[in-house]
Amino acid sequence: MAYKHDYDKILTRLTVILSKLNDGEALSVKELAQEFNTSDRTIQRDFNERLVSFPIYQENKKWKMQDGFRVEKTKSLEDEIVLDIIEKITEGIGGNFSTKAQKLLSKIKNEDFNPIYTKLNIEDISDRFADIQVLETAIKEKREVKCSYDDERHDIYSTTIQPLKIVNFEGFWYLIALRDDILKKYYLKNISNPKITDATFETDGELNNLLDESISVWFQRDVKPFEVKLFADKSAAKFFKRRPLPTQKVDSINNDGTMEFTVTITHEMEILPIVKYWIPHIYVIEPEWIREIIEEDLEEYLIKMKNI
């Protein structure tokens, strides 16, 4: 509980500092240290590490928000809609993140009523923000990280990784990283005690391309992509027209509303859960080995159901 309390104090302090900067104040490290009853070094770390992604700068030993970047009360209909959507997304995440985000959004929004409703099943990681801040800094500075990881199959082990991206797939948070030049996906909540090292690393644009074309966390690096051809009936086709998969290519749309389309993937688990979700409204045309996996899984399911 002490850890969580310490984290809440950090988040509260950062929120207050950002609010002051947004209001046009020039902030002194020493004065802030006195206000929050902490050290000058801690406040300096807030600016140099925790708030590094914000458009702030230091001038004459005072920290300021860059002109033109202050968050203003907006009357733009488009901006209001975007803010409404952001508000509902944060509610879907829940926990402390939602609470803090709502307070920050209230400084921007003028109205309490939000006509937009969303239901997002995104896991709450508000209790891990301190670790996430360390990982974000390491990603931006391209520095290696030492951490502990629980792979849920063995004991917790220590490792050194090169963090690349924090991503969310199907509501779950992961850290994409390199370890010994192998692309790894770490479940974010199983990472603990991350420490930034002095070692640096270089990256290329490959990861962004992989993420843009990935369907789920199962995507693979250094694997030749392959195509899966699918048939969707009218009810399923409607869904895939509205929200196409990242690598989806439509082959044909038929008069009866059915559709044939192709998806390019690097691992069968990128498409198997999607097909199983839509059974019996979708089926695999090719490759045959993907279709056989689904048939075998269905047969096993039916056998187990009969034995219950």
pLDDT digits (tens, 9 = 90+) for 112-169: 555 555 556 778 777 788 888 899 899 989 999 999 999 877 778 899 999 998 888 8
Say if residue 152 is exposed, middle or buried (CB neighbours under 10 Å; 0-12, 13-18, 19+): exposed
Widest CA span in the chain: 76
CA dihedral over 6, 7, 8, 14, signed as positive or negative: positive
> Cα separation of 90 and 98, whole Å?
5
Query: What would the CATH number be for the domain defined by 226-306?
Result: 3.30.70
CA dihedral over 245, 250, 253, 258, signed as positive or negative: negative
Say if residue 72 is exposed, middle or buried (CB neighbours under 10 Å; 0-12, 13-18, 19+): exposed
**pTM assigned to the model:** 0.60
Q: Which CATH architecture has domain 130-202?
A: Roll (2.30)
Residue extents of the structural domains in the chain: 2-65, 130-202, 226-306
Query: What would the CATH number be for the domain defined by 2-65?
Result: 1.10.10.10
**Domain 130-202 in the same topology as domain 2-65:** no
Is beta strand 56-59 parallel, antiparallel or unpaired with respect to 62-65? Answer: antiparallel
pLDDT digits (tens, 9 = 90+) for 236-276: 999 999 888 888 999 999 999 999 999 999 999 999 999 99
191 closest CA partner among 158, 147, 155, 159: 147
